[in-house]
Amino acid sequence: MAGYPHPIIAREGWPYLVATLVAAVALTALAGWWSLPLWLLALFVLQFFRDPARPVPAGPGLVLSPADGRVIAVERVRDPYADREALKISVFMNVFNVHSNRAPVDGRVERVTYFPGKFLNADLDKASEHNERNALLIRAGDGSLVGCVQVAGLVARRILCYVGPGDALERGQRFGFIRFGSRVDVYLPPAAQVRVGIGEKVHATTSILAQLPAAAGGATHG
Strand pairing category for 133-140 and 107-115: antiparallel
Nearest-angstrom CA–CA distance, 65 and 174:
12
> Cβ distance 144 to 170 under 8 Å?
no
Query: If phi over 0 gives left and psi between -120 and 50 gives alpha, with beta otherwise, what is residue 19?
Result: alpha
The edge-to-edge listing of strands for the beta sheet with 84-93 is: 168-169, 107-115, 133-140, 145-152, 182-188, 84-93, 69-79, 201-202
- Helix 14-31 and helix 36-48, axial crossing angle in degrees, nearest 10: 170
65 classed as catalytic: no
Dihedral angle sign, alpha carbons of residues 138, 141, 145, 149: negative
Q: For residue 78, which amino acid is it?
A: R
Of these residues, 65, 128, 144, 182, which one is catalytic?
Answer: 182
Q: Between vectors from CA 113 to CA 109 and to CA 118, what angle results, nearest 5°?
A: 140
Report, as residue numbers or ranges, the catalytic residues: 182
